[in-house]
């Protein structure tokens, strides 16, 4: 038996996608031109699948900060913060994040994935309990497995089921830690956070919220769903990422919990990995500055999200009810999702295919993400390509949709 025989089914699926010439899990852009455009060979591709919510990857000040930091501090740190030392700019970014969230403590990780690994594995010890939303991101599941706590799941966005789970644990010793997300990355739906907070208080549990897709998107100042729901005081730990609205890479956690800094020598994904390079730290620091001082970016993002969401809804696509920057069209099956996706790419539009087990309820999704950097004409062009492709495949009717202006005005 060969080593990779255990992947036989996966190998077969991957090979059949490669054979079509369009494999959604193996796309390579030859050149990236802007937050919204790239080249594949000689073809110009409109990007609707990047999570680049605020379009800050090409912001002049962000790029200049990264370049200056590289010149001054070098290309990399070559070590971990615990074993080889932090740079002043790591600490500075942590203070900026804590200040932005109005929290006492901030901690930066080298990726968003590692932030969840590092926080969940360290917060919950052997006799504690992690209670996860069933539709949690892979990093939340993996972080839970990395630690030694008992892990159970509750039905997605279901406060009554969470209440049941905590009731069953009421007489069991150990701390109970609830983990939810702000915006769920597959369907773009948000958590019923006020109801979760009531359940959390009732049972004396702790609450962790992952704002990866809601930072810079939701809340009066862009802090995410907890701010939008007005429950920040009841959220014990906020986890997030730099790789979506902040346009870089890395992750973080902020908290008011006394003694928080002990995690720096207890969290293995923080201790045993190299720290972020100066360029990334400087770029993210400047992107956070932009996020804080340019609320118009967030308004533009929401306007764009509404326009795109309304456009697809008008065409008759089966999409989620909330106009979030993540807009997923539910496809009848994976084969249709692949065909739709490849036809869009052929026409010059890049989106994402999302399949089980990464998706909820076994859904096959054609997932798009909207950016503040998209122009009206880019959004309308994307909607037009969805219309043409959907009609050609018989997925939507032939009637002309109402102009997007009318739909947006009606909301």
Partner 1 sequence: MPSPIELSEDTNITEGLGLDSVAVMDFVMEIEDALDISIPLDRIAEVKTIGDLIATAHDLKGVA
Please identify which residue in 151, 179, 215, 254 interacts with partner 1, judged by CB under 8 A. 151
Binds partner 1 by CB under 8 A, chosen from 145, 294, 343, 381: 145
The stretch near partner 1 (CB under 8 A) out of 163-171, 188-196, 327-335, 337-345 is: 163-171
Distance of CA 215 to the CA centre of its chain: 9
Q: How far is the CB of 368 from partner 1 (least distance, A)?
A: 23
> Which 3-state string (H, E, C) describes 135-196?
CCCHHHHHHHHHCCCEEEEECCCCHHHHHHHHHHCCCCCCCEEEEEECECCCCCCECCHHHH
Per rule CB under 8 A, is residue 70 in the interface with partner 1? Answer: no
Cβ proximity to partner 1, 105 vs 176, nearer residue:
176
Q: Out of 125, 230, 321, 356, which residue is the one contacting partner 1 (CB under 8 A)?
A: 356
CB 136 within 8 A of CB 151: no
| Residue from the set 81, 90, 105, 153 that interacts with partner 1 by CB under 8 A | 153
* Interaction between residue 155 and partner 1 (CB under 8 A): yes
Residue 95 or 361 having the CB closest to partner 1:
361
Nearest-angstrom CA–CA distance, 256 and 105: 6
What is the rounded distance in angstroms from the CA atom of residue 388 to the CA atom of residue 344?
9
Q: Which of residues 221-250 bind partner 1 (CB under 8 A)?
A: none
β-strand 129-133 against 206-210: which pairing, if any?
Answer: unpaired
Secondary structure element (H or E) that encloses residue 109, with its range: strand 105-109
Give the nearest distance from C-beta 209 to partner 1 in angstroms: 20
Helix (H) or strand (E) holding 351: none
Q: Cβ 126 to partner 1, closest distance in Å? A: 12
Cβ 123 to partner 1 shortest distance, Å = 17
Instruction: With CB under 8 A as the rule, give the number of residues binding partner 1.
Output: 17
Residue 365 backbone dihedrals phi, psi, to 5 degrees:
-120, 140
Check residue 361 for interaction with partner 1 (CB under 8 A). yes
| Closer to partner 1 by Cβ: residue 70 or 150 | 150
Burial 200-225 (b: 16+ CB within 10 A, else e): beebebbbbbbbbbbbbbbbeebbbb
Residues 115-144 that bind partner 1 (CB under 8 A): 134, 141, 144
Q: Are 128 and 141 in contact (CB under 8 A)?
A: no
In the block, which residue shows the tokens 């503040």? 372
Tell me: does residue 150 bind partner 1 (CB under 8 A): yes
152 scored as a contact of partner 1 (CB under 8 A):
yes
CB 137 within 8 A of CB 116: yes
Minimum separation from the CB atom of position 181 to partner 1 (A): 18
What's the min distance (Å) between Cβ of 237 and partner 1? 21
Nearer to partner 1, 81 or 153 (CB): 153
The answer to whether 65 and 89 are in contact (CB under 8 A) is no
13: contact with partner 1 by CB under 8 A:
no
* Contact status: 165 vs partner 1 (CB under 8 A): yes
212 vs 364, beta carbon nearer partner 1: 364
Q: Is 169 in the site for partner 1 (CB under 8 A)?
A: yes
Give the shortest CB-357-to-partner 1 separation in angstroms: 5
Residue with tokens 């702790």: 206
Half-sphere exposure of 301 (CA within 13 A, CB side): 29
The DSSP call for residue 273 is S
Strands 349-350 and 37-40: unpaired
- Residue among 134 and 408 whose Cβ is closer to partner 1: 134
Contact between 192 and 159 (Cβ < 8 Å):
yes
Tell me the C-alpha distance between 234 and 13, whole Å: 45
Residue 136 or 290: which CB sits closer to partner 1? Answer: 136
CB 346, min distance to partner 1, A: 30
- Name the residue nearer to partner 1 (CB basis): 52 or 185: 185
- Segment lying near partner 1 (by CB under 8 A), choices 109-117, 146-154, 322-330, 339-347: 146-154
- Chain residues binding partner 1 by CB under 8 A are 134, 141, 144-145, 150-153, 155, 164-165, 168-169, 356-357, 361-362
């Amino acid at each position: 038996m060969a080593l990779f025989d255990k992947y036989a089914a996966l190998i077969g699926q991957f090979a059949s996608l490669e054979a079509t010439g369009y494999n959604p899990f193996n796309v390579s852009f030859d050149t990236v031109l802007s937050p919204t455009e790239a080249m594949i060979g000689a073809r110009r591709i409109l990007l609707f699948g990047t999570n680049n919510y605020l379009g800050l990857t090409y912001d002049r000040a962000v790029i200049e900060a990264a370049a200056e930091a590289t010149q001054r501090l070098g290309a990399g740190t070559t070590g971990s913060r615990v074993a080889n030392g932090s740079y002043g700019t790591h600490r500075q970014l942590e203070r900026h994040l804590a200040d932005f969230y109005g929290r006492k403590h901030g901690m930066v990780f080298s990726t968003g994935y590692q932030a969840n690994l590092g926080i969940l594995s360290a917060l919950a010890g052997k006799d504690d309990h992690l209670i996860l939303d069933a539709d949690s991101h892979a990093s939340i599941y993996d972080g839970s497995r990395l630690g030694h706590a008992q892990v159970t799941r509750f039905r997605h966005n279901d406060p009554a089921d969470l209440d049941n789970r905590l009731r069953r644990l009421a007489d069991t010793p150990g701390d109970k830690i609830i983990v939810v997300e702000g915006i769920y990355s597959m369907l773009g739906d948000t958590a019923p956070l006020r109801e979760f907070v009531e359940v959390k208080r009732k049972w004396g549990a702790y609450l962790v919220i992952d704002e990866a897709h809601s930072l810079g998107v939701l809340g009066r100042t862009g802090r995410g769903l907890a701010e939008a729901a007005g429950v920040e005081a009841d959220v014990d730990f906020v986890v997030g990422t730099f790789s979506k609205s902040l346009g870089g890479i890395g992750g973080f956690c902020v908290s008011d919990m006394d003694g928080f800094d002990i995690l720096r020598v207890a969290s293995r994904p923080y201790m045993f990995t190299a720290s972020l390079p100066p360029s990334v730290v400087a770029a993210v620091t400047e992107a956070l500055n932009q996020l804080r001082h340019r609320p118009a970016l967030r308004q533009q993002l929401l306007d764009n999200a509404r326009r795109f969401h309304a456009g697809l809804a008008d065409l008759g696509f089966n999409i989620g009810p909330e106009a979030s920057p993540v807009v997923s069209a539910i496809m009848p099956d994976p084969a249709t999702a692949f065909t739709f996706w490849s036809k869009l790419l052929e026409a010059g539009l890049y989106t994402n295919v999302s399949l089980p087990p990464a998706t909820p309820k076994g859904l096959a999704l054609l997932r798009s993400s909207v950016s503040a950097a998209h122009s009206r004409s880019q959004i309308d062009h994307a909607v037009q390509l969805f219309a043409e492709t959907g009609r050609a495949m018989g997925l939507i009717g032939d009637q002309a949709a109402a102009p997007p202006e009318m739909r947006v005005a009606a909301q």
